[in-house]
């Protein structure tokens, strides 16, 4: 049963990740933490799984022509270093403290995802950087990824969209490809710290198998994915689930938990409202453009 649950989670998470450039890590780590696994076990399991799903996803994006290998190297090498350091640092925290830290990080990432897809707002200022100046992005994203169980995509993808002129599909493909190297390095960090025995391998196998099933499809659909709605729904799931983790581990009073969940619900309603308003606006503009176009000339059959 555990295998089947994580097979379905892996399939859905990798499908979203392959199209948005984010989602697999935060989704998998959130579920593992919610099910009671320690923060170290959740992050280590997620990265062990991402070695498999990242390889399949990277190859799929490469075959689809979505990968800039120089960009992969610039963000992937420092990202791998940051992931190793973040993994070792996470193992030094006590269990309850690490769970709260991870859940808080995932909630911040969830907010970033929500603002990105609902209101087209990034937590990073819009800059234009040359490729060789992007290494800090990889370093920070890698460290957050291993310490929080997820974060490579939510940090790297919107940052690169704000700071480069690369097309979206190429950024998504390059971030997904570099994620394999980040996952390998994070897994080595957990191995060096002696945490391999904490990994629920049946869950990892389920995540890998599910992710391998949907990665090729996601790579082909990345050019036409309903990215805004998917991103909003993923963000909502991450926010609610990790709020529940913080409430449980931190033993928060029920009133505070209820208020926090109500605020998340209001934020989600606002995000969905923004999404549907934008859709209506785009549809209205498209219809206006069609109505303003000149009517085609027709032959005069009156003979006069």
| Inside any domain, residue 303 | no
| Inside any domain, residue 32 | yes
| Inside any domain, residue 135 | yes
- % of the chain residues with pLDDT over 70: 87
Task: Provide the domain count of the chain.
Answer: 1
Give the 3-state DSSP-derived string for 41-92, with helices as H, strands as E and coil as C: HHHHHHHHHHHHHHHHHHHHHHHCCCCCHHHHHHHHHHHHHHHHHHHHHHCC
The pTM of the full predicted model, rounded to 2 decimals, is 0.73
- Domain membership of residue 166 as a residue range: 2-286
| Inside any domain, residue 304 | no
Residue 302 pLDDT > 70, yes or no?
no
Residue 293 pLDDT > 70, yes or no?
no
Report the phi/psi class of residue 22: left, alpha or beta, with left for phi > 0 and alpha for psi in -120 to 50: beta
| Inside any domain, residue 23 | yes
| Inside any domain, residue 243 | yes
Confidence band, pLDDT 50/70/90 cuts, at residue 298: very low
Lowest mean pLDDT among 22-26, 62-66, 203-207, 220-224: 220-224
Residue 81 is predicted with a pLDDT of: 96
Report the phi/psi class of residue 275: left, alpha or beta, with left for phi > 0 and alpha for psi in -120 to 50: alpha
Residue 152 pLDDT > 70, yes or no?
yes
Is there a contact between 192 and 40 (Cβ–Cβ < 8 Å)?
no
Residue 297 pLDDT > 50, yes or no?
no
| Inside any domain, residue 295 | no
Is there a contact between 211 and 49 (Cβ–Cβ < 8 Å)?
yes
Is there a contact between 196 and 48 (Cβ–Cβ < 8 Å)?
no
Q: DSSP 3-state assignment of 9?
A: helix
- Tell me which long-range contacts 225-228 makes (C-beta under 8 A, separation of at least 24): 225/19, 225/20, 227/19, 227/20, 227/117, 228/117, 228/118, 228/275, 228/278
**Looking at residues 81-95, what average pLDDT do you find?**
84
| Inside any domain, residue 301 | no
The H or E element spanning position 252 is: none
Q: DSSP 3-state assignment of 119?
A: coil
Residue 300 pLDDT > 50, yes or no?
no
């Amino acid at each position: 049963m555990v295998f089947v649950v994580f097979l379905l989670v892996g399939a859905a998470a990798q499908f979203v990740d392959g199209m948005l450039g984010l989602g697999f890590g935060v989704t998998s780590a959130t579920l593992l933490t919610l099910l009671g696994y320690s923060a170290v076990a959740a992050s280590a399991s997620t990265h062990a799984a991402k070695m498999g799903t990242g390889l399949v996803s990277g190859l799929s994006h490469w075959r689809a022509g979505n990968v800039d290998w120089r960009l992969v190297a610039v963000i992937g090498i420092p990202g791998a270093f940051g992931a190793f350091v973040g993994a070792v640092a996470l193992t030094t925290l006590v269990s309850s403290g690490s769970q709260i830290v991870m859940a808080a990080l995932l909630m911040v990432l969830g907010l970033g995802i929500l603002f990105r897809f609902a209101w087209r707002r990034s937590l990073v200022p819009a800059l234009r950087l040359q490729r060789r100046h992007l290494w800090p992005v990889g370093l920070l994203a890698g460290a957050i990824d291993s310490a929080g169980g997820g974060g490579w995509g939510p940090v790297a993808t919107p940052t690169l969209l704000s700071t480069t002129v690369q097309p979206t599909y190429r950024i998504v493909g390059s971030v997904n490809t570099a994620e394999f190297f980040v996952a390998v390095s994070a897994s080595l960090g957990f191995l060096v710290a002696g945490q391999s025995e904490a990994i629920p391998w049946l869950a990892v196998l389920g995540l890998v198998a599910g992710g391998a099933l949907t990665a090729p499809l996601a790579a082909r659909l990345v050019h036409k994915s309903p990215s805004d709605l998917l991103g909003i729904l993923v963000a909502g799931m991450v926010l609610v689930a990790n709020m529940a983790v913080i409430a449980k581990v931190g033993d928060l009073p029920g009133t505070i938990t209820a208020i926090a969940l109500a605020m998340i619900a209001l934020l989600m309603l606002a995000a969905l409202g923004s999404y549907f308003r934008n859709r209506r606006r785009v549809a209205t503009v498209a219809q206006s453009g069609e109505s303003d176009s000149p009517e085609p000339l027709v032959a005069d059959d009156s003979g006069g």
